[in-house]
Amino acid sequence: MKFSEQWLREWVSPQLDTQALADQVTMAGLEIDAIDPVAGAFDGVVVAEVLTRDPHPDADKLSVCTVNDGSADPVQVVCGAPNVAAGQKVPFARVGGVLPGDFRIKKAKLRGVESRGMICAESELGLAEDASPGIMVLSTSAPTGENFRDYMALDDNAIEVDLTPNRGDCLSLKGVAREVGALNRAAVTPPDTQPVAASHDTLLPVDVEAEALCPRYVGRLIRNVNVTAATPLWMVERLRRSGIRSIDPVVDITNYVMLELGQPLHAFDRDNLAGGIVVRQARDGEQLTLLDGQTITLRPETLLIADHDKPLAIAGVMGGEHSGVSSSTSSIFLESAFFTPLAVAGQARSYGLHTDASHRFERGVDPQLAATAIERATSLLLEVCGGEPGPLVDRTSAAHLPEPSRMTLRASRLEKVLGKALEDHHVSDILTRLGFAVSDADHGWNVTAPSWRFDATIEEDLIEEVARIHGYNNLPVRRPAARLGLRPDNEAGVTGSQLRRQMVARGYQEAITYSFVAPELQDVLLPDAVSPTLANPISTDLSVMRASLFPGLVRALMHNLNRQQSRVRLFETGLVFNGHLDHLTQTPMLGAMACGARHPESWSGHPETVDFYDVKGDLESLFALGGCPDDWRMESARHPSLHPGQCARILHRQREVGWLGTLHPDVGRQLGLKVDAVGFEVSLEALSDGGIPGFKPLSRYPEVRRDLAFIIDRDVPVQALLDTAVANAGEHLSDTRLFDVYAGQGVADGHKSIALGLTWQHPSRTLNDEEINQLVASIVEQMQHEFNAELRG
């Protein structure tokens, strides 16, 4: 929610400066995100009148103008704006004035013609971000010679409030003013919203079929409206300072009332309505072209505003293109309604939309506000556009309107939670200032929430209200006293923090991604995955629960690559979701993704790219934390998103717990990834399952090592050779290492040479050559038998 400070102070103006007011509101739970000046810093700019405009003698795109800036004599100015014309009132920077960016105005000659000053555009004064080709044109009633900054009341700030979803009541000036008034015991002065007398008796028929979703619908027909009238400058400025662009007077007024009171409104062109208004749910196959030009096929659960022939708008979200107000409109039907949050929640996002109206209706709009807002909008419309208002049409289903919440607040409970006893009259005063109806009860208060407070439903909500208005900083600081037992330390386990620290030590950075991902991305990486689809996603590209950590990590990796980060190392811990809701499994996993150079850039480094074995080493360092590296194995396998020649299934005690591999080239091409990325994903439960450290005495006797090289078929996995060597090497084998893999000259096609280093050590004596030779012979014989291996000389 963004608004002008001056506008707020018209409602309520406590004796606080801007920063103090922002700090106070923030401490009350409405966090101020930003305070920005509404205009740039400038001086020496006045309101001036363009007296004459003549073409420049030596430049087609320049004009020579004379302006009256309120001084004794007219001033000659050369202007390049295409829209400058005689009779206009404009902002004029005199010689000696200073514009934003410390740009000083001096006398100059442009193509030989003297220019003393500058007619300004909005962007040149810091009133607009985009530079338009034209100058700013003011109302003809603007007083010539008056300081432009004073005329526009530009000594103002735009304040942006970051609201939590439960505080939809503060998505308006009225709501924020109500909070400021309660915090400062200050009177709040709302604008006049008296009913407007009807000048004709024509009623547009309104039929509300979906009363449960739209318990209240208020409308009014206004005839002979001049939609070509200019929106008043004060309204245009208030909208601009609230982040809304002026469009036309009807739209501007509906937006203005929405910002002022919090009630979204919509205006229909009466001549484009067939019969009357029908509030109903969509029918199969119905289509609607929205105001933004896109045509959508409506789903049956969508609440619509329709006429007797066709849909007109998605209720509470966006209107249709063909029923909106245009330059030829002469009669409008003004709509103000209460749609339940459940009727609107998710509808905008399901169609890829997000509007100011849907933002408010999803959080809850005051059901008692509809008539007040339409009276306020009617009054402004008559003031700006003229017209003939008709009587109000009010279709209200009292049975479906939300009931105000009734709660009991206990004095003892309030004191226990706050750590402080408050006087009874102080508690009643706070709640009353916030709009709650309060009456005394045994040992406390009976409280009824106002119609705009959807979030206050239980006693704890009332305690929160009392605490924040009383002031969190006025509550005592007390430390809890409790008998706390020591938590047992599982020596055999590896904690999540240990795993994360190890990944950081290996050069990775922790990523935290959403638990929901784009379905297209998940389909590319995991085409066979089954995971729940969100009924109410925050956006269309975050609509399914992740079945793996890979989609989020790949997206984060691409985000970094697109920002010139060529060397990326990311890891994440979190839940993955597999199966339908009825049989959903949620598994904690640790995943990682790496690409780019093996080592950070340095004067002594070599530009080698990270590969499968680098990331495998990082993964094995996690296995080692548990103290049981022999419990882990990796075997060649196929995964839909990993390179078939660089992919391994991860096994823990013969149970599959994850995957390691290089991203498949086809997947990389589909995603637009131009580098090789290597990653892994493994169960956190398996990584946390370690062993208790134990002491093993060191042998005083020498080691014996034998190196064996075998020529085997290229498709034989090395792990199979290692397993066979260990199984036949006897109980005193202390170490087995693979130290060479070779294929090429001297080795037959389709084969490879594998060299193993085997080390034996006896705990109580020296091993002799005869024993070792027997074990070596047994290993060689078994290798020949199982793999047709040939011992290489």
Closest CA to 454 of 370, 344, 364: 364
> Which of 474, 504, 519 is the endpoint of a domain?
474
- What is the pLDDT averaged over residues 13-29? 94
80 and 144 belong to one structural domain:
yes
The CATH number given to whatever domain includes residue 136 is 2.40.50.140
Closest CA to 55 of 85, 95, 93: 85
29 and 90 belong to one structural domain:
no
Which pLDDT does position 367 carry in this prediction? 94
**159 contact partners, CB below 8 Å, separation of at least 6:** 2, 3, 4, 5, 8, 18, 22, 32, 34, 35
Which pLDDT does position 719 carry in this prediction? 87
Which pLDDT does position 351 carry in this prediction? 84
Three-state SS for 295-349 is EEECCCCCEEEECCCCEEEECCCEEEHHHCCCCCCCCEEEEEEECCHHHHCCHHH
Which pLDDT does position 24 carry in this prediction? 94
Which pLDDT does position 496 carry in this prediction? 92
Asked if the structure places residue 673 within a domain, the reply is: yes
pLDDT at 129 over 80: no
pLDDT digits (tens, 9 = 90+) for 343-395: 888 788 788 888 999 999 999 999 999 999 999 999 999 999 999 999 999 99
The CATH number given to whatever domain includes residue 286 is 3.50.40.10
553 and 652 belong to one structural domain:
yes
526 and 431 belong to one structural domain:
no
pLDDT digits (tens, 9 = 90+) for 603-645: 887 788 999 999 999 999 999 999 888 899 999 999 999 999 8
Which pLDDT does position 490 carry in this prediction? 80
pLDDT digits (tens, 9 = 90+) for 706-765: 999 999 999 898 888 999 999 999 999 999 999 999 998 888 899 999 999 999 999 999
pLDDT at 131 over 80: no
542 and 612 belong to one structural domain:
yes
**73 contact partners, CB below 8 Å, separation of at least 6:** none
Host domain of residue 121: 43-151
pLDDT digits (tens, 9 = 90+) for 225-256: 999 999 999 999 999 999 999 999 999 999 99
638 and 759 belong to one structural domain:
no
Helix 411-418 vs helix 424-433: crossing angle, to nearest 10: 90
353 DSSP 8-state letter:
-
In the structure, what pLDDT confidence band is assigned to residue 186 with cuts at 50, 70 and 90?
Answer: very high
Distance between CA atoms of residues 420 and 426, nearest Å:
13
Closest CA to 167 of 435, 453, 468, 463: 453
DSSP 97-126: EEETTTEE--EEEETTEEEESEEPPTGGGT
**528-562: b (≥16 Cβ within 10 Å) or e:** ebebeeeeebeeeebbbbbbbbbbbbbbbbbebbe
pLDDT digits (tens, 9 = 90+) for 23-60: 999 999 999 999 999 998 999 999 999 999 999 988 88
Asked if the structure places residue 111 within a domain, the reply is: yes
The CATH number given to whatever domain includes residue 520 is 3.30.930.10
In the structure, what pLDDT confidence band is assigned to residue 257 with cuts at 50, 70 and 90?
Answer: very high
Which pLDDT does position 530 carry in this prediction? 93
In the structure, what pLDDT confidence band is assigned to residue 493 with cuts at 50, 70 and 90?
Answer: confident
pTM of the model: 0.73
Which pLDDT does position 249 carry in this prediction? 95
pLDDT digits (tens, 9 = 90+) for 415-473: 999 999 999 999 999 999 999 999 999 899 999 999 999 999 999 999 999 999 999 99
Asked if the structure places residue 578 within a domain, the reply is: yes
User: Which of 291-295, 412-416, 496-500, 583-587 is predicted with the least confidence, judged by mean pLDDT?
Assistant: 291-295
Distance between CA atoms of residues 219 and 204, nearest Å:
8
In the structure, what pLDDT confidence band is assigned to residue 520 with cuts at 50, 70 and 90?
Answer: very high
288 and 431 belong to one structural domain:
no
Distance between CA atoms of residues 670 and 666, nearest Å:
6
Q: Which residue has the tokens 């001049």?
A: 226
The CATH number given to whatever domain includes residue 28 is 3.30.56.10
Alpha-carbon distances of 101 from 42, 43, 104, 264, rounded to whole Å: 9, 12, 9, 38
In the structure, what pLDDT confidence band is assigned to residue 554 with cuts at 50, 70 and 90?
Answer: very high
Mean pLDDT of the chain: 92
Asked if the structure places residue 197 within a domain, the reply is: no
444 and 577 belong to one structural domain:
no
> Which of 623, 656, 688 is the endpoint of a domain?
688
Q: List beta partners, residue 623.
A: none
Q: How many domains does the chain have?
A: 6
Distance between CA atoms of residues 454 and 350, nearest Å:
24
- What is the pLDDT averaged over residues 480-490? 80
Backbone φ and ψ for 145, nearest 5 degrees, come out as 90, -10
pLDDT at 184 over 90: yes
Residue at 546: amino acid letter: R
**651-662: b (≥16 Cβ within 10 Å) or e:** bbeeeebbbbbb
User: Which of 144-148, 540-544, 592-596, 785-789 is predicted with the least confidence, judged by mean pLDDT?
Assistant: 540-544
**410 contact partners, CB below 8 Å, separation of at least 6:** 443, 444, 459
Asked if the structure places residue 189 within a domain, the reply is: no
501 and 464 belong to one structural domain:
no
The percentage of the chain sitting over the pLDDT mark of 90, rounded to a whole number, equals 80
140 and 162 belong to one structural domain:
no
114 and 136 belong to one structural domain:
yes
Asked if the structure places residue 699 within a domain, the reply is: no
227 and 369 belong to one structural domain:
yes
Is the model more confident about 274 or about 491?
274
Taking a C-beta distance cutoff of 8 angstroms, is the pair 614, 704 a contact? no
Distance between CA atoms of residues 171 and 162, nearest Å:
10
